[in-house]
Amino acid sequence: MAYQTFRQEYLQVPPVTRAYTTACVLTTAAVQLELITPFQLYFNPELIFKHFQIWRLITNYLFFGPVGFNFLFNMIFLYRYCRMLEEGSFRGRTADFVFMFLFGGLLMTLFGLFVNLVFLGQAFTIMLVYVWSRRNPYVRMNFFGLLIFQAPFLPWVLMGFSLLLGNSIIVDLLGIAVGHIYFFLEDVFPNQPGGVRLLRTPSVLKAIFDTPEDDPNYNPLPEERPGGFAWGEGQRLGG
């Protein structure tokens, strides 16, 4: 019975969010079981381009460190905001969502060549949080019951929290920078006088991922509950 309930809930998660979070959890489990090591996964341009270990372009986005507070914190935020984007502004536009993943990952990898980062998954999560926060500017957030602010400040609050934990803020800044570039090119620049849409999802992605009709029984995650936990719970202003 428990298995059937879990399976049903698991299949309710939209496909891109389900695939990415599952890959992250399985990668971490494989490391914990010592089937693989982080040294086989991390971002290393020399090993990628000189020794053709191409898988590192992907695996460095899948490992968030050993199981612990930092891993759980990142997984919760990754799952919540990735799912809300996919069920919100990308509802019925899976190909566009995949294209955002590819664009963000490519840009982050290019920036990663110039900064000393070996795993980019956390930066990718911040990118998702940034895009969601800019598309939901009137959502009021409650962080650990200590701070109340509007959604666009969330990435910066997370960066401050990372700083308090003694982590490098370069990861957060990279995620914010890439998220802002995507948001500007997709949401801001096309709406400016003389602006054009520079980001266009390739037709091959649309043919693969987009479906003609929504499932009438689909139950999306409420976007007005952005955190679901004390550090991210919120509600729309005026609601």
Structure tokens at 43: 């971002």
Does residue 229 lie within any of the structural domains? no
**Residue 204 sits in a domain of what CATH number?**
1.20.1540
Does residue 234 lie within any of the structural domains? no
Does residue 15 lie within any of the structural domains? yes
Q: Is the pLDDT assigned to residue 58 strictly greater than 60?
A: yes
pLDDT at 222: 57
Does residue 221 lie within any of the structural domains? no
Q: How many domains does the chain have?
A: 1
The domain in which residue 153 lies consists of: 1-209
Cα–Cα distances in angstroms (integers) from residue 147 to residues 136, 231, 234, in the given order:
18, 9, 11
pLDDT at 6: 78
Does residue 26 lie within any of the structural domains? yes
Mean pLDDT rounded to a whole number for the chain: 86
Mean pLDDT on 9-36:
93
Does residue 239 lie within any of the structural domains? no
Pairwise pLDDT comparison (8 vs 98), residue with the higher score: 98
**Span 163-177, pLDDT tens digits:** 887 778 899 999 999
pTM, full prediction: 0.85
Query: Which among 138, 144, 186 is positioned nearest to 161, based on CA atoms?
Result: 144
Does residue 216 lie within any of the structural domains? no
